Amino acid sequence: MGSSFYLLNPDELVLRVRVQPGAKQPRIERSNGELYVRLRAKPVEGAANTALIALLATMTGVPKSRITILRGDTARRKLLRVSTPAPEDALAKLERSLAPLNATDTDLRLNPRASVIPSVRGIRGQGARFPSPRSG
């Protein structure tokens, strides 16, 4: 796969994903040659895997039944197969969904229904102090 997060085959798209289940805020970003996905779902009884597959189905436009986990069912690092007759189209849709992640000055929502918000660095500022919600 090299440094890319995907491998394009004639009838499938293979994705390298790192998942952080139980995150406070859901996010998706590119990091070190893989997709880094933060999900609110807990890793209990496959809930995080189900949420991941639903998210990728929405972003690629492929039915959930066509996405399978090849490796890493219980691990944070996963290899997923998106089976489709047109993997280039699925990849293009995924890339368009990730395009707002390249914006560094705005807080854009990728998919409001899935509550996926891109990571934007520097929103709170470096070294800024915020009052505790209990103080006052």
| Domain limits for position 16 | 6-101
The pLDDT value recorded for residue 55 is: 93
Please check whether residue 41 lies inside any domain of the structure: yes
Q: Does position 104 have pLDDT exceeding 50, yes or no?
A: no
Q: Please, which pLDDT band fits residue 100 given cuts at 50, 70 and 90?
A: low
| Domain count of the fold of the chain | 1
The pLDDT value recorded for residue 101 is: 52
In whole angstroms, give the CA distance from residue 15 to residue 6: 4
> Model's pTM, two decimal places?
0.71
Domain CATH number, residue 11: 3.30.1200.10
In whole angstroms, give the CA distance from residue 118 to residue 108: 7
Q: Does position 111 have pLDDT exceeding 50, yes or no?
A: no
